[in-house]
Amino acid sequence: MLRTFVLLSTVAILSTWAVKCKYEGTDMDNNEIITVQKAFRIKCMTEDNGSWKTEIIGCIAPDGAEIGVGLKRETGDKIHECVKSESGQVSLKESKGIKAACPGGQKNGEEWQEKSFKFRCGDGGVVKFIACVGQDGSIIKSGETGKIGGFDVKCEQHANGTITMQAANDPKSYDCKAKDGSSKKNGEEYVEGNFVRKCGDYGQGKIVGCHAENVATTIPINQNVTSGDVVFSCTKEGSNYSFKTYSLKSPVVYSMCAHEGKQYTNGTTFISQGSFRMRCVTFKNLTSTLEVVSCITPAGVEIAIGSQLEEGDKVYECTSGNVTLKSTPGQSGKCRGTYSVGEEWIEDSFKLTCEPYGKVNLKSCFSKEGTEIPLGEARRVPAGYAMECVIVNGNVALQTAKNFDCLTGSGENKKMGETWNEGNFVRRCANYGVSSIIGCYVDGVGTFGLNQNITSGSLLYMCINENEQFKFRTLRAQ
């Protein structure tokens, strides 16, 4: 900012008394100072011979401070100077202070890099070029010649401001040197490890992409290329390049079964304890279990679960559920390991027989008194009632037989409910094959009930039941 003020009326005029200066119609006393345009200080100076003049003696800074002509004042990052030119022009010149920031916002003394050039924010907010930076990070100070990628390069800022980084010779004449020692021409692409480089100026190989074994083309920077189930990723982060390989296939993880110190894979089978064939079964949740798939008989024959095989005098069965190899006697196998086929024996109140395949069959029951009652039949026991040997709810039971014929004194059989005369008593066949007296009988007279009298001619017949003591009496009627 530059404010200029020219005082045009420094003309001396003759005056008689009390000389005054005139400024824009205003009278000013000698030595009086006024501010004009809020920017300049004007002083009135008179002479005794009546001449006067006004003079600019200072400037006013934007903050209101007065700065004498020819003086400077620094506030903040600004400098204000009240300058008077040879022609008498006075101006307030504003310039940046020593510590002023640069146009890009960088602080005084701060250094930064733009592309291949390094700058510093100099005093007064002036950007100073300080050095060139090579792709490999090497630095050449402004005005100097240094080495970049092994070649002499001059770094220079010209008077017109242009900065150049120039190889001492024609850049195109430089070949690039690959890691394997071979030379590459400018513009040539070559593979170095997982990267594809292109030979650029100053013999510098620039990375232009990535290289993967099974990918025919160069993988461009910041792109993914999928080949089969593999993703190749070529990335640039800052000044770093990276090449990564991702597998789309999820890793194969599986469990195995362990048994007696050995490992088995899913589906494999093996023989355990000589009696079972086991199979390893694994699950997705990485647990595993062993399954019995078949049994093996002592003779080494494998039999499926649920089946059986007769071997010698034994029958082997591979039971399901908790698989077991069950051995039972064969056709000629002994029952209870003792009794031969056909043999009979008595155990407790039962008579048993041994049948083929070790099958024990119950033949008959024995009553307390030793009466043998074949299974499914009933017999009268010495106590007088009938007992039966039956299977009740799967168990053998020796119990009283409710429905059983009664036996008359003369050895006749009578069905339940039937009545008959026996001597002078009338009997009826009741439960358990036991008959009871229900009345009396007199030949030629008929039957009559218990505790009843009957007369016939001169005779009185009495049928007596005294506490289950039955009597028949004949009296002379009175």
Ligand X SMILES: *[C@@H]1O[C@H](CO)[C@@H](O)[C@H](O)[C@H]1NC(C)=O
Exactly one of 8, 16, 38, 49 binds ligand X (CB under 6 A); that residue is 49
**H/E run at residue 364:** strand 359-366
- Positions in 394-423 near ligand X (CB under 6 A): none
CA atoms within 13 A on the CB side of 288: 19
- Taking the complex as a whole, the smallest distance from the CB of residue 219 to ligand X amounts, in Å, to 11
Other beta carbons less than 10 A from residue 160's beta carbon: 5
Answer yes or no whether residue 166 interacts with ligand X by CB under 6 A: no
**Are the C-beta atoms of residues 351 and 366 closer than 8 Å to each other?**
yes
- Taking the complex as a whole, the smallest distance from the CB of residue 386 to ligand X amounts, in Å, to 35
- Positions in 448-467 near ligand X (CB under 6 A): 452-453, 462
Count of residues in contact with ligand X, rule CB under 6 A: 28
Answer yes or no whether residue 240 interacts with ligand X by CB under 6 A: yes
- Taking the complex as a whole, the smallest distance from the CB of residue 181 to ligand X amounts, in Å, to 25
**H/E run at residue 304:** strand 302-304
The rounded distance, in Å, linking the Cα atoms of 302 and 314 is: 15
Is 112 or 254 the residue whose CB approaches ligand X more closely?
254
Exactly one of 1, 6, 71, 254 binds ligand X (CB under 6 A); that residue is 254
The rounded distance, in Å, linking the Cα atoms of 419 and 401 is: 19
- Taking the complex as a whole, the smallest distance from the CB of residue 304 to ligand X amounts, in Å, to 18
Determine the interface stretch with ligand X among 20-28, 56-64, 105-113, 230-238 (rule: CB under 6 A): 230-238
Exposed e or buried b for every residue in 407-421, given b needs 16+ CB within 10 A?
bbeeeeebebeeebe
Answer yes or no whether residue 369 interacts with ligand X by CB under 6 A: no
Exactly one of 183, 224, 245, 340 binds ligand X (CB under 6 A); that residue is 224
- Taking the complex as a whole, the smallest distance from the CB of residue 162 to ligand X amounts, in Å, to 4
- Taking the complex as a whole, the smallest distance from the CB of residue 267 to ligand X amounts, in Å, to 5
- Taking the complex as a whole, the smallest distance from the CB of residue 284 to ligand X amounts, in Å, to 5
Answer yes or no whether residue 112 interacts with ligand X by CB under 6 A: no
- Taking the complex as a whole, the smallest distance from the CB of residue 141 to ligand X amounts, in Å, to 19
Site string for ligand X, 3-22 (x = CB under 6 A): --------------------
Exactly one of 30, 51, 353, 421 binds ligand X (CB under 6 A); that residue is 51
Exactly one of 322, 338, 393, 467 binds ligand X (CB under 6 A); that residue is 322
Answer yes or no whether residue 328 interacts with ligand X by CB under 6 A: no
Q: And the tokens for 334?
A: 């002994």
Exactly one of 127, 231, 416, 442 binds ligand X (CB under 6 A); that residue is 231
Exposed e or buried b for every residue in 340-356, given b needs 16+ CB within 10 A?
ebeeeeeeeebbbbbbe
Q: And the tokens for 339?
A: 């009794």
Pairing of strands 78-84, 90-96: antiparallel
CA distances to 150, 171, 177, 244 from 189, rounded to whole Å, are 20, 17, 12, 21
Torsion of CA 213, 218, 221, 222, to 10 degrees: -60
- Taking the complex as a whole, the smallest distance from the CB of residue 273 to ligand X amounts, in Å, to 16
CA distances to 107, 120, 137, 377 from 104, rounded to whole Å, are 9, 11, 23, 122
Residue number closest to ligand X, CB atom: 238
Exactly one of 228, 267, 274, 457 binds ligand X (CB under 6 A); that residue is 267
Answer yes or no whether residue 136 interacts with ligand X by CB under 6 A: no
Q: And the tokens for 129?
A: 């070029």
- Taking the complex as a whole, the smallest distance from the CB of residue 101 to ligand X amounts, in Å, to 27
**What's the N-to-C CA distance of the chain in angstroms?**
177
Task: For tokens 């400024």, name the residue.
Answer: 23
Q: And the tokens for 133?
A: 């930076």
Q: And the tokens for 231?
A: 């993703």
The phi and psi torsions of 138 (rounded to 5 degrees) equal: -70, 145
Determine the interface stretch with ligand X among 89-97, 238-246, 324-332, 391-399 (rule: CB under 6 A): 238-246
Determine the interface stretch with ligand X among 80-88, 96-104, 229-237, 442-450 (rule: CB under 6 A): 229-237
Answer yes or no whether residue 319 interacts with ligand X by CB under 6 A: no
Answer yes or no whether residue 237 interacts with ligand X by CB under 6 A: yes
Handedness of CA 46, 47, 50, 55 (dihedral sign): negative
Exactly one of 111, 126, 246, 361 binds ligand X (CB under 6 A); that residue is 246
Using CB under 6 A, list all residues that contact ligand X.
47, 49, 51, 158, 160, 162, 222-224, 231, 233, 237-238, 240, 246, 254, 266-267, 282-285, 287, 321-322, 452-453, 462
